[in-house]
Amino acid sequence: MDRIRIIGGNRLNGVIPISGAKNAALPLMIASLLTDQTLTLENLPHLADVEQLQRILGNHGVDIAVAGRRERPGEAYARTVHFSARSIVDTTAPYELVSKMRASFWVIGPLLARMGEAKVSLPGGCAIGTRPVDLFIEGLEKLGAEITIEAGYAHARAPKGLIGAHYTFPKVSVGATHVLMMAATLAKGETIISNAAREPEVVDLAKCLNAMGAKVSGAGTSTITIEGVAKLSGAHHRVLPDRIETGTYAIAVAMAGGDVVLEDTSAELLESALSALRATGTEVTSVGNGIRVRRNGGDILPVDAVTDPFPGFPTDLQAQFMALMTRANGVSHITETIFENRFMHVQELARLGARISLSGQTATVTGVNALKGAPVMATDLRASVSLVIAGLVAEGETVVNRVYHLDRGFERLEEKLTRCGANVERISD
């Protein structure tokens, strides 16, 4: 099993290209099930989750072709991939595939809309909370689906097709917004989704669906309206930049010090997180087609953060920001409001010398003068990269185990950091 070894103490200087967003790529790939024509996605990141979803889509009959290959080792290049679901050969998404990644449950919406039925295993995925699928089921039932849960599977049927309706989410859910929006594109009549997620990835999916012939309006606001159409066509769409990867590397620069330009991204995707970063004393400016992050000396100032749905502070940057606060000159408080079990990185940061106490969903972080390298264990995707960030400044050697979590969401992380001067390497047993 691979590990990542970090020798702390090096500043970061250079350029880091930002990959396409994993959280946008997954629903975009699933949208290919809605049409019998080819959906071409540019800027698709090469990640374990993307590869797993390709296997799931292939099980349903989607033909997948990669256009162009990586030619030079040590540099990350976006891929262009063609998805063609000319015929759906199987409407069942089996446990052995779905259990490995929660987002694969989302195929239930397009399969139901196009084929009138779907049998999808209840999901697995990383252990950062229960994240039930009740909102998905309630929303689809509002569109006229008949859904039963039997032997760990959701059986969904709509033999006469889905019917447009008005559904209000009792709480904001990005995944359920994706699913209901996709399903409604082929429903008869108008669907209105209230209290919808406003994340940029939702907007990106809406843009792609509209390019396929859907009639989606209001994405990016809390009310999304979809006028159903009889059929969707193929399209060509570029996946938007990964705002979580952007924020992660921005925090890494703030932690280690230095001057880095994050290319092919936009500050508009994560203004709340960048505002918190600026408050730490880090300089963050928009430049050309990217963001410049600089911290050239001086203390890291303590800043409180509360996670919230977009446009609030992203839960997917909470662990990384906590790592930064372990070296702040003072006390900060970080409150997690999205997931009930997303502080598993705390005990691993403590192994490096961090001082963190927990009270309910709030972590109190008292900054220390130095972290010291140690072996640590990744528990989930975002927790794992927080340990890498801490390792960048820890004295001596830090070894992060279970880095398969990292490979789910960060494309060539060690190579990108190494090109900017970090002493980071992957160790394969």
Provide the 3-class DSSP secondary structure of residue 379: coil
Are the beta carbons of 324 and 255 closer than 8 angstroms?
yes
Tokens of 315: 């839960």
| φ, ψ of residue 48 in degrees (nearest 5) | -60, -40
The binding site consists of 22-23, 102, 131-135, 171-174, 316, 338
Give the sheet arrangement for strand 153-157, strand by strand.
92-93, 117-121, 153-157, 146-150
Rounded distance, CA 384 to CA 171, Å?
Answer: 28
Which uninterrupted H or E stretch holds 292? strand 290-295
Q: Enumerate the active-site residues.
A: 126
Give CA–CA dist 177/197, Å, rounded: 6
The DSSP bridge pattern shows strands 117-121 and 166-168 to be: unpaired
Q: Which amino acid is at 337?
A: T
- Position 27: which residue type? P
Distance CA 377, CA 156 (A): 39
How far are the Cα atoms of 256, 276, 302, 324, 390 from residue 296, in angstroms, in the given order? 9, 18, 17, 15, 18
What three-state secondary structure class fits 168? strand
| Joined tokens for residue 46 | 């090469």
* CB neighbourhood size of 245 (10 A): 26
- Residue 335 to residue 363: CA distance in whole angstroms: 6
The angle formed by the CA atoms of residues 274, 194 and 201, to the nearest 5 degrees, is 40
Taking phi over 0 as left and psi of -120 to 50 as alpha, with beta for the rest, 298 belongs to left
